[in-house]
Amino acid sequence: MPKCRKAPKKFDEINVIPFIDIMLVLLVMVLTTATFIKQGVIPVNLPEAKATDKEDIKKEITVYVNAKGEMFYDKEKVDLATLESKLSKVSKKQTVVLRSDKESKFQDFVSVMDILKRLGHEQLYIVTKK
């Protein structure tokens, strides 16, 4: 008589317990590290200095390009040369927000981006709408 082979065991369910264990460990790691990310959570007494050089830095600088191709530097109408001179006086660490109208020419957008790249600004946000 030939030997009968047993049919392979059929898996009706997937064991999700190891998956849940891993997800819980990841959740604990994220929660414990996220509490220290917020600045000022850990109390530290900062030293005092008599000679300080406090820069007056605004939160952000906004550059607008409207549908007519007009450019604005913080609500002041400028041309490309004036925009470049104003942006050259701004710190490279300063955030620049670019708001370009969807009907504006792509060349106007590229010109502003070219100025920012040439001046070395890396803190750039391009605002879009959902």
Query: Domains, the chain, ranges and CATH?
Result: 60-126 (3.30.420.270)
Specify the pLDDT at position 59.
Answer: 75
Q: Provide the pLDDT confidence category of residue 26 given band limits of 50, 70 and 90.
A: very high
> Does the structure show a pLDDT above 80 at 98?
yes
Specify the pLDDT at position 24.
Answer: 95
**What is the full DSSP assignment across the chain?**
-PPPPPPPPP--S---HHHHHHHHHHHHHHHHHHHHHSTTSS-------SS-------SEEEEEE-TTS-EEETTEEE-HHHHHHHHHTS-TTSEEEEEE-TTS-HHHHHHHHHHHHHHT---EEE----
Q: Provide the pLDDT confidence category of residue 37 given band limits of 50, 70 and 90.
A: low
* Tens-place pLDDT, residues 38-74: 555 556 566 676 665 555 556 788 888 888 888 888 8
